[in-house]
Each structure stands twice: as structure tokens, then as C-alpha cells.
Chains A and B, each alone.
Chain A
């Protein structure tokens, strides 16, 4: 049946080149050989098809559908039908998913950390002895960071980020090394915070009025919508300071961490074996050179921040309280 419909759909042009090849012989073994020429090929075929089916088939006028388009349609159809065939190699490592769909804190396993090269410390001669408690051993001339300690510290840091976001705090993600920009931006987007992937201008916290004084500030409600009417109150207000700083490369950002320390801003940082863990409040002992490891940690912390934001917004919607109104006295800049 399908064959016949196909033959009809092809139109007259299809049968002309096949006149030399006995089409009818191809379809039926018992038919008598008729003298088919190029001129009467179509008629002969249609006669034959009409004789084989009960439903009378009217000869189709040439629709103008070319062989090319019909074979293209056939190819598309075939592709659609065979698309599900074959095997898939899943799950396997896809590097881009670490940025696009980062894992959440509950997905952090020792295997994932090891695959992300979180355990590789620096050469043994470069170590800071304060990191001794994070170091598992020495292999191939480098210190190996204990993965269970990394996992525990990463989960603790994720809880902190989540709690800060849940309370409406501002999280600043900092990664100023080459290649860390995407993961930092993505994490800040997820956590609803800020990001920094270029140089930290020294004094942005301690001397913020001079450096960031001209920057725009706005008042938002709990769902992140801007609330109008606070403009004159914001003029004399001090610049914003982050409530939590997450630093991917503490070695290059000593000034930032020092300023945070002076202003009692908690900090989270990836501490490799050559970094000083006392620079940050909550160290995550891991490999800060591997981009994959940094992507993973930034993604996990970003997911944690996203979770915190969701909780806060859910609570706000439940309570029916979506932020201060301009008529009330208290202003909340967030």
C-alpha cells in the first residue's frame, strides 16, 4: 500500500527514467510483459496500479513537486524515524555542563571532587605549613589535599552562602584569574549577587564613598522588583558593602580579603597548599589552579545561593510581605 502511494506521489516524471527498468515487473511477478516506452510509461503504471486495488485511483495532475523536494522529504522522514536508534553513552563527562548546569551542594561527592582535580596541591616545597591539617599525603612530588575535608568544607561554605542569601544578604563572587570569569558571573547570577572578574580596586570597601560613590543604588523588594520613591533617601546613604565575599583565588586578592577583615565581612576562599588559610574566614582546601575545580566550587556555591534566594522569596510570598513601602520609615537597601 505504501509502495503504491509512493508511486502516486512521485508523479509522472519518476516513471520516465525507469522505463528501461521494468517497474511493473518489479511490483508483480505474474504480469505479462508489455511494451512500455517513455511516452506511455505513466499510463501503463497507473493502469496497473488501478487494476491492483479496489479503490479507483484518478490520475494525478502534475503538481510541480520535484524529485528533489520529495526525496528531501523522504530523507527527513527517514531521519525522524531512525533518530531514536543506536546507543547513547550516558552518563559521560560534558565539560560545558559545569558552567551551564552546575551541580548543587547535595551532588558533591568525593568522586566528583577527585575528577575535578580538587585534590592536587602544589609542589611540596611550596607549601604553607598552616595547611598541614588539610593535607592527605605526598604523591609524585606534590601535596595531596584530603578530599573528605574538601567536601566537608565545601558543604559548610555552601550552607553559609545559602543562609546569607536567605537573609537577603549581598554575596560578591570574585575570580580574577584568566578563565574564571564565566563561572563567577554565572554563580553571581544564580545567587543574585555581584561578581568581579577583573582587578579589585583597592579601597572599594574601606574607601567606598570615594570610589563607588557615584554608582547607582536602588531599593528592591523581596522578589527583586525595584521600589520607586526612595531616591532622595539614597543620596546621603553610604555605599553598599557585600555581606559575604567568595574568593576563587585568594593569593591575588590579598587586599580585598584584608579590607573584608577590617570591615568584619566574612569571606570564603579556595585555599591551595601554598595559600595562607588565615586570610579567609571559611577556607575550602582545594586546587585553585584547575579551572575545572574552580568551576565546580563556584557552581556549587552559586547553586547554594540560588537555593537561599528561592527560600527567601517563598517565605516572602507566603507572608504576603514583599518589602517596605515608601510611606514607611524604614528603608532596606539590598
Chain B
């Protein structure tokens, strides 16, 4: 479609920003469950359906958003996030229908700040129950070539199983009416095309048959040139092949699937061969068989990071083992009217996620426990909050964000809040930093980085096992970093010897 065909006005309009606004996506449907669900028309949608637009400051104070009319200043300027989404440019009531888009814009900003890569969905459904947490495999980015596949790839079934975009609809998710409409409107007019497709397939089959015969007769060697003799097939041959296909449901089903580019159907309880899928020619199993292909790209554009394998560098304390923690709001404590689960629900970056620590005891009564986690505590100003590390995020087939968190390292929290030096009463001068003396690998845990510094300060530079135990009891920091301790222990041992032989323990 060359642009020369259009008038100058048309060209200009086609390239204008207002005309480039995509039409809104359909709103996500409320969950179809028999249980009572709380549904609101005005609640923030799980994903944005409309583009958010913004305007420069000089135009904002004039109400100019490039729309039909200036928008009212009162509602657009009295906000720190002046972004809107447009319902209608003009309506019968002579108004421009707009709405603040700060909900999703702020969510996106928070996620960009948290630096979370999006993981691919698990092929096998994680065992999720009220008590036990779902167990996930290692992080695989959605942008890896084997994950991010949109083209049919019959050669590689593992890649084909992760394909997330198809030309045809997911028939298992259609109602009967929708299916009949699909048959009558879209399938019927592709008859001739399908006949050509079968002809091509018949030709290939005939050529293979002929080649096999030739090899058997000894005319051609197996590695020899492929003959292109049989590039013609008569109408009678084709007709008889189509009749034979009607009895051979396996081949026919595979042909239909590849012709219409349909996603794989869900696995049924009956054996596959009863439904016409043979062992070798059935359509490839897909990780989306049960749920249908996803509505968006598996990343949903939320994050374009591949990994979170980066180390945060503190200006004074150096590289940190754990990244900066983020504060999550405790939306529903463990025991409440709304739920009686043992897992609290947290709100983090505009997304609801589960707490990583299921427990039935009153954690808030512990000396260092989180207040308001076990039971609603109305005395906390601003509501109860909790420091966590986001650990894994993925987008499910409905486009919803699934977020997993772990409790933040207490030392990471102290560093983030700037309380490390307050405790030690040594502002801005951590030197001389002493390398922890590594007598045992178990005591190494959290002795490097700030932990080691703090311990050495607390214990007057000596290795105090008691202080270690105290620090372990304080939180959940004992669960991290235990894998590499033995290796690191050796490295630190070596370093320690080196330093002590030079008569200097400072770094």
C-alpha cells in the first residue's frame, strides 16, 4: 500500500498521532466460577486496555491534549501523574470522554524500578495450595529464542510446544455458536485453498512414494539426487486421495491443523488415537493446550529484561549480595474476615501476591516479627507494610501478572533505610574494613559485605559465634546464599591468609 495513492491530507492524517492510537482491547471478563467473586466495574483492570497519552507541561496548563477540545484543568492538573486515556474524542453530549490512566502508568513505572525480568510460564502446573507454595523451576526469560516463538516449527517439537501465536482460533475455548459461525464465515470460503493444499500434500506424498519405489528397484541410490518427475497429479488421482483421506482421520486432522494453523487442543481423558491423532502425526502438544494461547506476548511488554543477574553497588559498602528491598503493603493479613488462610496477601507494585512465609503462629508477637502480618493492626500509621524482594514474575494466559516474592534480607533493609551506621554509631566512615576471619564455612554465611562489617563492629573485630547465631535468629536471612558458601569459604580463607601474612588486615 504505497502512500502515493492517497491525497496529501490522507497521508498526513494516516501518520498523525491521534490516528495512531490503537483501538481499545476488549475488557477482561470476570472469572467464570461458581464461587462468590467480588467484581467492580470501576476497579483497576488486570492489564491496560487503552493507550495512555500525555502532553508537554506548556500545553497541559492550557488544557491542550491534541484532542477535540481543551480538557478541564481542574481534573487534569491537580495530579502528579497527568496521563489520561480517551474513551471518546467527542460524544453526543459535546464532551470528550477521558479518564486518568495513572493506575497502569504508575504500575509500569514501579515495575521498571523493580527491575524484574518476566519468566516463562511453567509447562507443568505448579502445585498451589493454601499452605504449600508453588514450586517453580529456574528462571527462563520469555525472550529466549526457544520461548519466544511465533512461527510453526515442525522440526523441533520442544520449541513448537512453546509457540504462543497462531493463525487460527483456539477451538476448545469457543462456544458452539461461535464455532458454527467460524465454520460458516471463515472456513467455507477457504475450500478451494484447502483443495490446493491437499493437492500439494498429495504431490509430495506421490513423489516420496515414487522415490521409495525407485530405491527399492535400485534405480536411485538413497543419497542420490531427488527426481522431480512426478510434479503432476491428475484430478482422478486427487479425488481418490481425498476419498482415502476421509478414512485416514489421522492424516486429515494433521492436515487441517497445519492448514488452519490451529493451536493444539487440550488433552482428553480418552486415548488420543480414538480422536484420530496417531502417534506420529498428531499436532504437537503445546504448553498452552489446557488454557489456550495467551492473549499477549508472554512478557506483555511489562519488562524487557532477560535476567536479574546484576549486582547492586553501594557507594560505601560495595557490591551487595541482595538487591534493594521493596516495600509491600499487607492487604489481607493471615487471619481476617476475608480470608482465614495461613498466607497473607501483599500488594506490591500494583499487583497482589502471596506472602512467602506461610505460618499459623502469631508472627507479629515475635521480638523482630512484622507487625500486622498475622492480624489486622489498625494502630499502624498508613497500614502495615513489609519489606520483600520480588523473586519471579510471569504473565498468565489471561494477561494477569503473577508475582512471587521472598522476604527481604534484614541487612538489605538496614542498608536501604540507611540504619547500618546509626546502629554502629560510625557515620560515613566504615574503614578500616576487616575481612571476617573464616574459621568455619557455616559462620561464613552473611559475613561478607555489610554483614561481615557489622559483625566485626559488633564484636569488636573478633569472630563471635554468639553474635552470628543472634543474626540468624533474627530473620529469614539464613535461607539465602548457602549454596556457594563452600566455594567462597575457600576463596576467603586464601585471602585471609594472604592478608595476615602481609601484616595488614585492612582492605
Contacts and interface: CB of A to CB of B under 8 A. Distances in A.
A146 B9 contact: yes
A157 to B, nearest CB: 19
B12 A147 contact: yes
A291 B92 contact: no
A111 B9 contact: no
Given A95-B58, A110-B9, A123 B19 contact: no
Contacts of A119: 9, 13
A79 interface: no
Given A123-B88, A290-B68, A291-B63, A148 B9 contact: yes
B218 interface: no
B446 to A, nearest CB: 44
B502 to A, nearest CB: 34
Contacts of B13: 114, 119, 136, 139, 144, 147
Interface string A3-47: 000000000000000000000000000000000000000000000
A142 B68 contact: yes
A2 B94 CA distance: 69
Interface in B75-107: 88-92, 94
B62 A139 contact: no
A93 B69 CA distance: 18
Contacts of A278: none
Interface in A109-134: 110-111, 114, 117, 119-123, 125-126
Contacts of B12: 110-111, 114, 147
A126 B62 CA distance: 26
B70 A291 contact: yes
Interface residues of B, number: 27
A95 B55 CA distance: 12
Contact of B70 (A123, A141, A179): A179
Given A95-B58, A95-B59, A95-B62, A142 B89 contact: yes
Contact of A120 (B56, B59, B62, B89): B89
B67 interface: yes
Interface string B337-379: 0000000000000000000000000000000000000000000
- Name the residue in B9, B18, B21, B64 with the highest tally of chain A Cβ atoms < 10 Å from its Cβ: B9
A292 interface: yes
Given A95-B58, A142-B89, A110 B8 contact: yes
A96 B52 CA distance: 26
Contacts of A110: 8-9, 12
B500 interface: no
B9 A141 contact: no
Contacts of A120: 18, 67-68, 89-90
Interface of A: 93-96, 110-111, 114, 117, 119-123, 125-126, 136, 139-142, 144, 146-148, 179, 287, 289-292
Given A136-B10, A141-B88, A148-B9, 4 more contacts: A121-B90, A290-B70, A291-B62, A291-B63
